[in-house]
Structure 1
């Protein structure tokens, strides 16, 4: 089928019928007469060679073909509204935009409350959606507009993305308040001998620690591996474990429990927390406003920079 022969005005009709399953309600939303909407439905049926909707005692029911078109049609219309018809300006006081931000679990725990507070203060009608994605999912999600920003330490994202540095994240040791090492200077030997909770992530911190210990003839003893930092506090409070965690997360944990932060005896480089976004949306007024707000909240310089090739 030649797309030039397709009347794209029919897509909002199909979308409204799929959502309302009522000619009356769809016509009301589109400000059309019922007869005009019925005519549009007839044209859709002819165009697609399918009945699309069947009338039942409960109203219109979509055929399998119509149901399959629901998501792509809604996505097409959303993109037209957001990327073609949107205003070139953004007024946070009146905007009703939705922004989707990807965080790691640590980012969700530590950074998300600050982001929400800042956005709600400046733009009370803006809706925020938190996405927790793996590093491999972030690049495609940004490129496709499934998320507007990714915030975190993601060293292996595509070079095509834009980025802005927010702050450095340092790592510390965390133990329960009643732990034998609490408020003591942690030595390399005592660190290696202490049972530990280990979370392995893209930063490679745990691998660096193990390599450094090996270079000094040491290995960690008992270790319990977890998939998420957020599972650590109950284990620390219930046992004699030690955990290596990001400093900001240790501060957040300590506010809600009897935990003590210790300096690491291992030289672990700080990881950099950045905002990442796709160049397709770099000039979008709403996205620029959000990036500037977050940069201001975390004390970063409000300058956009292309990701440097490694």
Structure 2
């Protein structure tokens, strides 16, 4: 058993970065250390824990089984240490900290701009690092401590992961305005007669739009499948394709005369866009501060309100 007096706490911080980045150079950038310093720390960690931790694999470094086991406990332990050693409260004006967020490009489009403006004005020393992943991957990253917050459409969450609704979203349709009369809408027959652009993010197996149409005995003809919400509107320009997607992602097309935006001809179920985080961060003042601003932005409060919440 390792004697706690012989353990350098900084090694655990390096280990946290290595487990998250799985890349020595990126971990060094994240920690503001040199690559040799991180390599040296990894060598000490391997000796301390009697495990290689990261090994060469296809496409780069991969975690050993022992490293996977350590991810959750390490994140929880460091979260508690930061609370213990940090100031009694969170001072946004002077705080220097990096928060890791995961979200799709839809989340980045509708939430991130106002969130970043609120954070920059109140806490200029805060850095937000945003990554993207499937909802399953983001849930696992939150549970393992690889990200602080994830935004998306979540149903089931692992034990210890908390969730808060940011807003309710509905679907809308968009077509090239030249393909409909007087910027009108399509009825069910015309809708199904056309081909469609489908936004299918990662491993999601059942599309809710197609599931709803199937209940009416219909089926869409898919011409193009893309993984990103933001590129989809550009794909229908100059074609007779139909895009059915989250209504907020069509906001920029509402006043664009080149496009017609309308309600779907079928009753598609809406969805709840939420934030998730691990309960280990509940008592972290900085994390709570960021969550408050995120919830304010999601609720549609103005920038001033989001900034003014508790400092």
Distance 1:103 1:181, change over 3 A: farther
Q: Contact between 1:88 and 1:284, CA under 8 Å: does it hold in 2? A: no
* Counterpart check, 1:208 vs 2:217: no
Aligned partner of residue 230 in structure 2, secondary structure: helix
* 1:236-251 matches, cutoff 5 A: 236-251=236-251
Distance 1:109 1:297, change over 3 A: closer
Aligned to 1:196: 196
* Counterpart check, 1:270 vs 2:273: no
User: CA-to-partner distance for each residue in 1:94-136, whole Å, 9 max, x for gaps?
Assistant: 1111111111121112221121112112211111111112111
* Counterpart check, 1:187 vs 2:190: no
Distance 1:298 1:5, change over 3 A: closer
Distance 1:5 1:149, change over 3 A: closer
Q: Contact between 2:142 and 2:277, CA under 8 Å: does it hold in 1? A: yes
Distance, in Å, in 2 between the alignment partners of 1:144 and 1:88 is: 26
Aligned to 2:3: 4
* 1:120-269 matches, cutoff 5 A: 120-158=120-158, 160-180=160-180, 183-201=183-201, 202=204, 204-214=207-217, 218-221=218-221, 223-254=223-254, 258-269=258-269
TM-score, normalised relative to structure 2: 0.69
Q: Contact between 1:198 and 1:244, CA under 8 Å: does it hold in 2? A: yes
C-alpha displacement of 1:144: 2.5
Distance, in Å, in 1 between the alignment partners of 2:162 and 2:82 is: 20
Q: Contact between 2:163 and 2:274, CA under 8 Å: does it hold in 1? A: yes
Aligned partner of residue 237 in structure 2, secondary structure: helix
Distance, in Å, in 2 between the alignment partners of 1:182 and 1:274 is: 37
Aligned partner of residue 190 in structure 2, secondary structure: helix
TM-score, normalised relative to structure 1: 0.69
C-alpha displacement of 1:297: 2.1
- Unaligned 5+ segments in structure 2 are 15-27, 49-61, 68-73, 302-311
Distance, in Å, in 1 between the alignment partners of 2:288 and 2:238 is: 45
Aligned to 1:32: none
Aligned partner of residue 230 in structure 1, secondary structure: coil
- Unaligned 5+ segments in structure 1 are 24-40, 49-67, 302-310
Aligned partner of residue 178 in structure 2, secondary structure: coil
Q: Contact between 2:173 and 2:245, CA under 8 Å: does it hold in 1? A: yes
Distance, in Å, in 2 between the alignment partners of 1:257 and 1:213 is: 32
Aligned to 2:71: none
Distance, in Å, in 2 between the alignment partners of 1:235 and 1:182 is: 21
Aligned to 2:306: none
Q: Contact between 1:212 and 1:266, CA under 8 Å: does it hold in 2? A: no
Q: Contact between 1:106 and 1:230, CA under 8 Å: does it hold in 2? A: yes
Aligned partner of residue 113 in structure 2, secondary structure: helix
Distance, in Å, in 1 between the alignment partners of 2:108 and 2:136 is: 18
User: CA-to-partner distance for each residue in 1:183-208, whole Å, 9 max, x for gaps?
Assistant: 21321111111221112354832332
C-alpha displacement of 1:280: 1.0
Distance 1:5 1:228, change over 3 A: closer
Distance 1:181 1:107, change over 3 A: farther
Specify the structure having the higher radius of gyration (Cα).
Answer: 1
Distance 1:6 1:116, change over 3 A: same
Distance, in Å, in 2 between the alignment partners of 1:180 and 1:21 is: 58
Q: Contact between 2:103 and 2:133, CA under 8 Å: does it hold in 1? A: yes
Distance, in Å, in 1 between the alignment partners of 2:131 and 2:262 is: 31
CA root-mean-square deviation: 3.8
Aligned to 2:19: none
Distance, in Å, in 1 between the alignment partners of 2:36 and 2:212 is: 63
